[in-house]
């Protein structure tokens, strides 16, 4: 028997009149003769035509939606419309049946909410097949982008002993018995008796460790899971998500913004070039979905037009101060249409404000810089004005913040002052401060939320649908 050929390969060539074996799962079985077969290599199904006279009745009976089969036969030019080539099957083996009475995925439209409940099977739908093929390519393109630019991929710890990252609420890691945890004289839990002889958590960011790497290797990036125990039940937050965090030595905020903009454009373009079929499918899905919405809420551009627009246009760069002026003058602020009305400079921007700037005002991706020091992290470089820091956030249509970054404070004395202002004990951060004591230099980096990027590229509406098994408050299934 010939070795198995993937459906993507068969459909990708004009070749016909040759023997092949395909394996996959039945999507539909029509007239007891036509199988639409999927093996996940492409969004397209391959038509396998059964030789009714030479296929035993008991084999035909076992062919149903969801069953795994192997088919061997001749790939020929298709008689019917809809496909260029099809297989005239000479033999069919049913590898695994799927009882139609019990198989939850019938060939009809299922809601995303229902599919989330059967996330172990949702890979088998067109939508999730497309999403996870694209998710793979986004990851691949990110590694390729950095590799081509000489960045070193650094693995930063997932279990961390540092609690000063301050990026969000942490999940504690312990092997202590919660019912009978050892207590110190003060009655508090004695973490010296815990596995690491100290309290540890799951990381919320690899940035501080990436900085250590950058101040020797010049350009590094991390790409790993991060965990935040924030109780935010939104369509843009997960408790476990993946983050890309590049860090560059001898670089300032402009270099940082250039890197982030180049990276985003590169990855989006990579998907446009390599996932035309998947994007076309997701685009149609979106158009159908948007028909349910009122006219003014529908997007003006199709999914691929939106992605192309992002690749072809410069992101709008402006300072936080300029953004506040725009927001203060804006209609929704004057008419108190925002949930949080902007009163004055210094206000933290909510996603409604970010989305106003991106979707209504500029109508393109926006990079905001130089935020008030009070609403940003301690490690961001202080500006001359003493009021703002060299921070930047990239805001995307439909998503809000997709990237958060900054030039880092490289001056030891200023950094210590900032830590004091945030009540971060110096003795816990000596290792971090050492980089500023020995051979410090200008450096910058950012964090890109992987799932938010996949969300944008696939045009999906909920971040829980772009990660195989989402973790969020109240849910850690599978």
Query: Which residues contact ligand ATP (rule: CB under 6 A)?
Result: 167-168, 228, 230, 237-238, 241, 243, 401-404, 447, 449, 451-452
Say which residues have a Cβ less than 8 Å from residue 449's Cβ, sequence separation at least 6: 241, 242, 243, 401, 402, 403
The alpha helices in 218-347, defined as continuous H runs, are: 253-274, 276-290, 303-312, 320-329, 331-334
C-beta of 274 vs 462, nearer to ligand ATP = 462
Q: Which CB atom, from 60 or from 167, has the smaller least distance to ligand ATP?
A: 167
Q: Shortest approach of ligand ATP to residue 165 CB, angstroms?
A: 9
**Residue 75 or 357: which CB sits closer to ligand ATP?**
357
Beta carbon nearer to ligand ATP, 66 or 445: 445
Q: How far is the CB of 67 from ligand ATP (least distance, A)?
A: 37
Work out how close the CB of 310 gets to ligand ATP at its nearest, in angstroms, rounded to a whole number.
15
Q: Please identify, using beta-carbon distances, which residue of 10 and 403 lies nearer to ligand ATP.
A: 403
Nearer to ligand ATP, 46 or 315 (CB): 315
Closest CB 208 distance from ligand ATP, rounded Å: 13
Nearer to ligand ATP, 129 or 404 (CB): 404
Report, in Å, the least distance between residue 348 CB and ligand ATP: 9
Pairing status of strand 152-153 against strand 172-173: unpaired
Query: Rg of the chain's alpha carbons, rounded to an integer?
Result: 27
Element (H, E) at 144: helix 126-148
Residues 380 and 462: their CA atoms lie apart, in Å, by 31
- DSSP state letter for 117: H
- Token duo for residue 133: 């093929």
User: 39 or 256, CB closer to ligand ATP?
Assistant: 256
Distance CA 18, CA 45 (A): 19
Q: Which is nearer to ligand ATP, 93 or 139 (CB)?
A: 139
Nearest-approach distance from CB 3 to ligand ATP, in angstroms = 41
In sequence order, which ranges of 330-411 are alpha helices (DSSP H)?
A: 331-334, 351-355
Instruction: Give the residue closest to ligand ATP by C-beta.
Output: 449
Q: Which residue has the tokens 């639409």?
A: 36
- Residue pair 141/271 in contact (Cβ under 8 Å)? The answer is yes
Q: Quote the least distance from Cβ 470 to ligand ATP, whole Å.
A: 10
DSSP conformation letters of 399-462: TEEEEEEEEB---HHHHHHHHHHTT--GGGGHHHHHHHHSS---EEEEEEEHHHHHHHHHT-S-
Q: Compute φ and ψ for 36, nearest 5 degrees.
A: -95, 115
Q: What's the min distance (Å) between Cβ of 353 and ligand ATP?
A: 12
* Cβ(141)–Cβ(167) below 8 Å: no
φ and ψ of 331, to 5 deg: -60, -55
CB of 477 to ligand ATP, least distance (A): 18
How is residue 375 annotated by DSSP? G
């Amino acid at each position: 028997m010939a070795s198995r050929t993937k459906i993507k390969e068969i459909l990708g060539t004009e070749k016909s009149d040759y023997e092949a074996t395909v394996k996959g799962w039945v999507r539909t079985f029509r007239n007891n003769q036509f199988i639409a077969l999927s093996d996940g290599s492409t969004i397209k199904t391959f038509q396998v035509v059964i030789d009714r006279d030479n296929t035993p009745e008991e084999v035909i009976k076992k062919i149903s939606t969801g069953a795994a089969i192997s088919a061997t036969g001749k790939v020929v030019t298709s008689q019917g419309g809809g496909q260029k080539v099809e297989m005239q099957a000479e033999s069919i083996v049913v590898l695994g049946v799927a009882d139609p009475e019990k198989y939850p995925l019938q060939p009809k439209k299922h809601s995303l909410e229902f599919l989330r409940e059967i996330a172990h099977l949702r890979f088998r739908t067109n939508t999730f097949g497309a999403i996870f093929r694209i998710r793979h390519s986004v990851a691949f393109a990110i590694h390729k982008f950095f590799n081509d630019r000489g960045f070193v991929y650094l693995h930063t710890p997932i279990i961390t002993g540092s609690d000063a990252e301050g990026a969000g609420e942490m999940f504690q890691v312990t092997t202590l018995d919660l019912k009978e945890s050892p207590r110190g004289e003060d009655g508090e839990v004695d973490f010296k008796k815990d596995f690491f002889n100290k309290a540890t958590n799951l990381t919320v960011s690899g940035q501080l460790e990436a900085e250590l790497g950058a101040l020797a290797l010049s350009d590094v990036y991390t790409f790993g899971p991060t965990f935040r125990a924030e109780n935010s039940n939104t369509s843009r937050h997960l408790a476990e998500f993946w983050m890309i965090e590049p860090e560059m030595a001898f670089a300032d905020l402009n270099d940082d913004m250039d890197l982030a903009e180049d990276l985003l454009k590169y990855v989006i373009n990579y998907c446009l070039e390599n996932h035309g079929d998947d994007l076309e499918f997701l685009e149609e899905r979106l158009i159908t979905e948007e028909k349910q919405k009122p006219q003014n809420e529908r997007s003006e551009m199709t999914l691929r037009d939106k992605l192309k627009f992002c690749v072809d246009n410069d992101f709008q760069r402006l300072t936080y101060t300029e953004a506040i002026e725009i927001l203060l003058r804006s209609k929704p602020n004057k008419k108190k249409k925002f949930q949080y009305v902007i009163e004055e400079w210094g206000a933290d921007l909510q996603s409604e404000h970010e989305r106003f700037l991106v979707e209504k005002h500029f109508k393109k991706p926006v990079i905001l810089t130089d935020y008030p020091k009070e609403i940003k992290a301690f490690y961001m470089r202080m500006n001359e004005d003493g009021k703002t820091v060299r921070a930047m956030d990239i805001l995307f249509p439909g998503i809000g913040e997709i990237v958060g970054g900054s030039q880092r404070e490289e001056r030891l004395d200023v950094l210590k002052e900032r830590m004091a202002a945030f009540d971060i004990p110096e003795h816990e951060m000596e290792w971090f401060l050492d980089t500023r004591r020995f051979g410090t230099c200008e450096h910058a980096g950012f964090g890109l939320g992987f799932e938010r990027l996949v969300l944008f590229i696939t045009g999906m509406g909920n971040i829980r649908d772009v990660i195989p098994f989402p973790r969020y408050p109240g849910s850690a299934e599978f």
